[in-house]
Structure formats: C-alpha cells, structure tokens
Chains A and B, each alone.
Chain A
Amino acid sequence: MERDKIINEYKKHTQQMHALSLEAKERVKTQILSEMRTTREDLYKVTTKQRFWSFTLMRLGTVTAVILIVLTSTAYASSDSLPGDALYPVKRVVENARVAFTSTTESKTKLEVQFTEERLRELDAIETRKSIPVRAEKALNIETTALTNTTTKQEQESADQNKPKAKAEAEVTKAIGSLEIQVRKLNNKGRHSEAEELSNTIDRFKMRANRRQNKENDRETQKTKDTIQKNVEITTPLQIQNNRENEERINSDGNK
C-alpha cells in the first residue's frame, strides 16, 4: 500500500481524536493570560535584578582587566629600572615572584644566576649614568670659604649620586650571597658537579665586581688628586696675597 494513502487514512481517522473542545481551549487561554500578566511582572523584577548583577559583574570585570593591564605594564616598564628608581621595587617583586613560583631547584638556580647578572648590569648602568660636573670655574672665582662651600656641595652631590650605587652594590652582594647558599645546598644533596659549576660562576661574578670596584677606586683617586691640585692652584695665590698683606701689616705696626 502506498505510504501516502496510509497517511491520509490515518489523518482522516485521527482528526477528531484527542480533540480539544472549544470550551476547554478558551478556559485554558483565560488562565494562561492571567498567569502571563503576573509572570511578566515577576520577570521584570528578575530581569532588573539580573541586569543589575550583570552590569555590576561587567564593571568588576572591566576594573579587574584594567588593574591587570596596569600591573602588567608596570611590571614591563620596571624591567629596565635601576636601584633608586621609582619602579625598581616593582622589578624586584616580579623577580622574587618568578623565583617563588619556580618548581625545580635547577630552574631556581638558573633564575638566581640570571638575576645576579642583572644586578651587575645595574651597577654598570649606574656608573655610566651622567655624573654631576665639578664646578671648577666657580671655585676659581670665589674666596676660600666659598670654595669650601662648593667643595661641600660637590661632596653632597657625590653622596647623593652614591646612594643608588650603594644600593646596587648591596644588591650584588646579596645576590652573590644567595648563590653561595645554593652551592652549599647542592653540596649537601651530593650534587657536587653542579655545585662546582655554580661556584665557578660565583667566582666570575666576584671578579667582575672587583674589576669594577678597582676601576671605581682609580677614578676616585684621580678625582681627589684633581681636586687637591685645583685647591693648590687656587689657594697658593690667595695664600701669597694673604701673606703679603700680613707682612705689610706687621711692617706698618712695627713702624708705629
């Protein structure tokens, strides 16, 4: 039998089956419409609440995203900072976090070596920063007391310049100290070859730091020599002048 014929017969016979009476249809419709009015009001309240929370969550999400962007940018911007710079503490926090979240000892050691290199690099960078010029020409034009003031000012400026340098030097010492602790730990664990390798690395760092210190000392010595020389050059004519004046005074007093 053709399928279409079967379906048609089926439709014919079932048309009135399971029929919904008009009366029942209208009754249900009335109930639905009454329910709809109540439902819409409730839905409005729910929707408003949902809207409030979704708006709040959206705002929180936006704020969180902004904070994350700021933190990431700050961390990135801090990567070139030097001791004494405003962002330097951020740089150190990021480095410490990296070490803290590293799982293996090898990775930790690698990072600490990397950061020790960075400490030395920072120290070099501070050295090459533009230093405050010695106001030699002023010292020539003023009296001894003014010269003394200028010298004091130079010393003050030098001291100010030395603060970041002192900090950087302290960081280098600390970093090398940290590596030395790692060497002891490796030896305790029986990993002697790794300890030796790390020890060699520490020695290289120390040599580099010493070379830098020696250069620094030479520079300071030369600066001191230059300063003394200038003082002599200025003071000597003044002294001669003073001595002559004193002699003349003595002579004039003597003649009285």
Chain B
Amino acid sequence: MEKLVRASQTGDQEAFALLYDEFATKIYKFITFKISDTEQAEDLLQEVFIKAWRGCGSLDLHNLNFSAWLYTIAGNTVNDYFRKVYRRPQTVSLNEEIDIIATDDTSTQADNSINSDIVQKALSNLPTNYKQVLELRFIENFSVEETATILKKSNVTVRVLQYRALKKLEGLFKHKI
C-alpha cells in the first residue's frame, strides 16, 4: 500500500489506478450511505479520487493512514455536495432514529426465521450515522479517533452512535442468531 502511495506521489498513474481498484467499492459504499442516487454517488466517487490524486503529492507518509485520509475526503466531498444543493451540510441528529419496520417487532413474528430481504431492508433504513460508524469501525476497522476525524465528530459521539447502532442490530438479529 505504501509503495503504491509513494509511486502515486511521483505521478505514477498506474499505481494510483491500483489504489482506486482497492478502495473504489468501499468509498462508493460510504458515499451511498448519504446519497441514494447512484449516478450522483458515482460522480462524487470520481470527485473523491481526483481530489486524492491532486492532494497525494503533498502527503506526509509518516504515520499516515491512507485509507482514513481517503474516507475523510469522501466525507468532505459529500458534505460539500449537500452544501451546494441544500446550502447546508446534511447532518443527522444524534437522537434521530428511523423506526425499524414493524416486522422487527418480534411479537408479530410467528417463528424465529427472519426473511433476509426484510433484514436487508431494515439495515438499509438504519440512520446514516449508524451505518457510517458501523462501516468505519467494523468493516474498515478504523479506531474511534480515526472514525471521529472522518465523520468530524467527537470520540464520545462516535462511541454513542456505535452503541446505539449495535443495539439496533441486536434487536434486528435477535431471532436470527
């Protein structure tokens, strides 16, 4: 990874293309937590990597987490998009929770098997903040501090979001597991 980044810094487009291959899917997923429109998400994905290409020349590779840096660019790019479109960044209140659909209510379940499509839908309806924290903390394995930096939130907020997200998931998967 570091070799690819160093090569990109010197202008090696092929090396940067490899970095793109590595991270494109993850960054795209991250973008789509907030942007539902796929075309717009692809445009923003392009924008993220263009910014990364321009900025990588001046990167200090000492103690750098390139992945976290890329996610930070993605977060900023999405916020800039909302700022342009809605004249304010799209933020979700800490207390905002979207009700998981009624089928989560275990009292309506006749048996313990849950249709995975329903789970998928429930998961896609999770609040954006929860999805972001789950993605960054448990899929990308970023630390709390790195996650806080990417999301521009405090460490405490990240921990709270994580706790609530896991609680939601626990309720969702209780009957599956």
Contact = CB atoms under 8 A, between A and B. Distances in A.
Given A1-B174, A31-B46, A32-B53, A18 B28 contact: yes
A37 B173 CA distance: 48
B109 interface: no
B25 A20 contact: yes
A3 interface: yes
A36 B20 CA distance: 12
Nearest to A7: B138
A33 B161 CA distance: 37
Nearest to A10: B169
Contact of A1 (B16, B45, B170): B170
Interface residues of B, number: 36
Interface stretch (A21-29, A105-113, A190-198, A201-209): A21-29
Given A9-B173, A32-B46, A19 B16 contact: no
B141 to A, nearest CB: 11
Q: How large is the interface on A (under 10, 10 to 19, 20 to 34, 35 or more residues)?
A: 20 to 34
Interface stretch (B62-70, B86-94, B98-106, B117-125): B117-125
Contacts of A19: 25, 29
B92 to A, nearest CB: 17
Contacts of B174: 1
Contacts of A10: 123, 134, 138, 169, 173
A13 B120 contact: yes
B81 interface: no
Classify the secondary structure of B's interface with A. helix
Contacts, number: 84
Contacts of B170: 1, 6
B120 A36 contact: no
A5 to B, nearest CB: 5
A14 interface: yes
A5 B177 contact: yes
Contact of A43 (B24, B54, B116, B123): B54
B171 to A, nearest CB: 10
Given A32-B46, A36-B13, A36-B53, A9 B177 contact: yes
A24 B174 CA distance: 36
A14 B126 CA distance: 12
Interface in B147-177: 166, 169-170, 173-174, 176-177
Given A9-B169, A17-B29, A36-B16, 9 more contacts: A1-B170, A5-B173, A10-B173, A13-B119, A17-B124, A18-B32, A19-B29, A24-B38, A27-B42
8 contacts: A1-B173, A11-B138, A13-B116, A17-B120, A32-B49, A32-B50, A32-B53, A37-B13
